Structure 1
Amino acid sequence: MIALLLTLGACKSTKSVTGGEVDSKLSAKNIINAHYSNQPKFKTLRGRVKIDYANGDDSQGVNVSLRMEKDKVIWMSAPLGVVKAHITPNKVSFYNKLQNEYFDGDFSYLSELLGTELDFEKVQNLILGNAVLDLRKEKFNTEVYNGNYQLKPKNAQEFFKILFQLEPKNFKIASQEISQPEKARQLQARYTYQDISGNVLPEDVKITAEEAGGLTTIDLNFRNLELNKPISFPYEVPRGYNKITLK
C-alpha cells in the first residue's frame, strides 16, 4: 500500500537518455532556466510501474498502473484493484481491499511517510523528475560534481537544507535532497531518464527516506508509457470500509 502511494509512471518504445558535456562556466541562473525550459509537455500520461519497497524487515514488490492528468489528478491501481489511490491538489484518498480500510484527507499522510512536507505540486514534480522546490525563488552557488551541475543555496537555512544535482544533457534532476537535521529527517531521489516522443521522463527512480534512524527505500521502474491518450480515473471507496485516522 505504501509503495503504491509513492509510485511513478512508465514508458514504451523508448531509449535511455545519457548525460552530455558539462560547461563549468555555466551560471546557476542559466542552469535553472534550462531546467524549467525542458519541462515535459503533455496533458495526460498512462503506464505501468514496477515498485520495490523496503523498510527494515518489511519488503515487497508490485506492478501498478498509473494515470495522470497533469496538474489535476494522479491515479494508481494495483492488480485487480486491490489497492487504489486518487490524488488531487486538494485531497489524498486511497483504499485497501485486503485490510477493508481507506484514507481520505490531506497530504499529511504522504508527508509523514517521507518525512518532509508535501503537496500536489511537489508529488507531481517528484514523479516527473522536476525540482521539488521552485529553484527560481532561491539564489544558488554552482559547481561540477560527478559529471553533474550541483546547486547549493547561497544563504543556507538553519533548520532546512536542500541540494540539487542536474544532468548536463537535458538539465533534468539527477538527484535532489531535502533534509531537516534537527529532526533527523532526509529525503533523497535519484533519477535516470528516457526520451518519450521528445519528452524527457524518468526511467528509474530511487527514493530514500530517513527519519530518526529508520530507513525506507523505494525503487521504481517506468514501463509502457503513453502520452495524451483519452483516460478515465475510476475511483469509489467501497461501502463498510474503516477510515484510517492519523494520530
Structure 2
Amino acid sequence: MLTYKTYLSVLFLSITLALTGCKSSKTISEGDKNFRLSAKQLIKENARKSPDFKTLQSKLKITYSEGEKRHSHTVSYRMQKDEVLWMSATFGVIRAKITPKTVAFYNKLDNTYFEGDFEYFSKLLGTDLNFERVQNIILGEALFNLKDESYKVSVHEGSYLLQPKNQRTLFEIFFLLNPSHYKVKSQQLSQITEQRHLQIDYLTHQEVDTQVLPEHIKVIAVEGTDEMIAELEFKSVSLNEDLRFPFKIPSGFKKIEL
C-alpha cells in the first residue's frame, strides 16, 4: 500500500516518466549528433521542442525505493497543462490533485486527507517547488527557465553540458541536453553545505502526436546518507481528450499534518 510519504513524494517526483504502449507514440532513437551549437542556439532549440497540448492521460506505473524497501504501483494519471495534475489509485481509494495553489489527497483506506501547499515537497527535495516546476519535471523541461540567465556550454560524455556562467549562492545546477533532439537528458541540483542532491534523469524520450515527451525518468533525491529513488512509466498515453478531474474530500475524514 502507498504510504503518505511515498504517494506524495512520487506525485512530485513525477517527476519520473515512461510513456509507452500508445498507438500514436514511438520511442525516439538516437539520431545524428550535433555538437556545433552555442549556448544560445542550444537553448533556442530546446525551447522549440517544448510540448504543446491541452490535456494528457495515461496509466502510470510508479516504482519507488528508499533504502532496502521497494514498492511498485499503477495509478491513473491525468493533467491539464498549466492547471491540474491528478492521480487516482484503483477504485479511487487514494486520489490526489495538484493545482497552482493547492496540494491535496485523500485515502479511503483509513479515512484521512491532506490539504496544503508546496512547502512539504520543497523540503523533501531540497529546492523550492511550485506548480510550474513540478510540471516542468514531468514534461522533461528545465527546472528553471533557461532564458532567464547566461549559460556556458561544453560537451560531457556525449551530451551538451549547460551550466550558469554564475552559479547560484545556495546551490549549483547543471543541465545535460541530448545532442540529437536537444531535450533535457539530466538535470542536477546540489546543495553542498546541506549535503543535498537532486538528480532527474530522462533515460529515453518518445514522440506522441508530434509532441516530444519523456519516456522513462529516474529521480534520485539524496540528503546526507538517505537516498530516495523513484521511476515512472506512463502507458497508453493520449493527448487533447476531454477529461474530468473529480476530487472531493469525503465528509468525516481526518486531516493529517506532514
For this structure pair, what is the TM-score category when the shorter chain's length is used for normalisation? over 0.9
Note the C-alpha offset of 1:57: 3.2
Distance 1:66 1:9, change over 3 A: farther
Note the C-alpha offset of 1:9: 7.1
Match runs of 1:107-122 below 5 Å? 107-122=118-133
Note the C-alpha offset of 1:171: 1.2
The answer on whether the counterparts of 2:198 and 2:220 sit within 8 Å (CA) in structure 1 is: yes
Partner of 1:144: 155
Note the C-alpha offset of 1:115: 2.3
Residue 19 of structure 2, aligned match among 6, 10, 21: 10
Runs of 4+ in structure 1 off by over 4 angstroms are: none
Mapped pair 1:128 → 2:144 = no
DSSP-derived class of the 2:19 partner: coil
The answer on whether the counterparts of 1:10 and 1:223 sit within 8 Å (CA) in structure 2 is: yes
The runs of 5 or more residues in structure 1 that have no matched partner are none
CA distance in 2, matches of 1:188, 1:61: 20
Mapped pair 1:233 → 2:245 = yes
Residue 40 of structure 1, aligned match among 44, 51, 63: 51
CA distance in 1, matches of 2:68, 2:36: 46
Query: Counterpart of 1:149 in structure 2: which amino acid?
Result: Y
Partner of 1:94: 105
Q: Deviations over 1:17-75 (max 9, x none)?
A: 12333333310011011111111110011111111000113321001111111000000
CA distance in 2, matches of 1:234, 1:16: 31
Q: CA RMSD in A?
A: 1.5
DSSP-derived class of the 1:182 partner: coil
Match runs of 1:98-247 below 5 Å? 98-191=109-202, 192-246=204-258
Note the C-alpha offset of 1:141: 1.2
Partner of 1:80: 91
Q: Deviations over 1:80-107 (max 9, x none)?
A: 1121110000111111222322111111
Mapped pair 1:50 → 2:85 = no
Percent of pairs with identical residues: 43
Partner of 1:65: 76
The answer on whether the counterparts of 1:76 and 1:86 sit within 8 Å (CA) in structure 2 is: yes
CA distance in 1, matches of 2:150, 2:240: 35
CA distance in 2, matches of 1:32, 1:86: 32
TM-score calculated relative to the size of structure 1: 0.94
Distance 1:163 1:135, change over 3 A: same
Query: Counterpart of 1:135 in structure 2: which amino acid?
Result: L
Q: Deviations over 1:143-164 (max 9, x none)?
A: 1122211101111233211000
DSSP-derived class of the 2:100 partner: coil
The answer on whether the counterparts of 1:45 and 1:229 sit within 8 Å (CA) in structure 2 is: yes
CA distance in 2, matches of 1:82, 1:186: 33
CA distance in 1, matches of 2:156, 2:93: 43
CA distance in 2, matches of 1:86, 1:66: 10
CA distance in 2, matches of 1:84, 1:104: 12
The runs of 5 or more residues in structure 2 that have no matched partner are none
The answer on whether the counterparts of 1:116 and 1:185 sit within 8 Å (CA) in structure 2 is: no
CA distance in 2, matches of 1:40, 1:147: 24
The answer on whether the counterparts of 2:205 and 2:215 sit within 8 Å (CA) in structure 1 is: yes
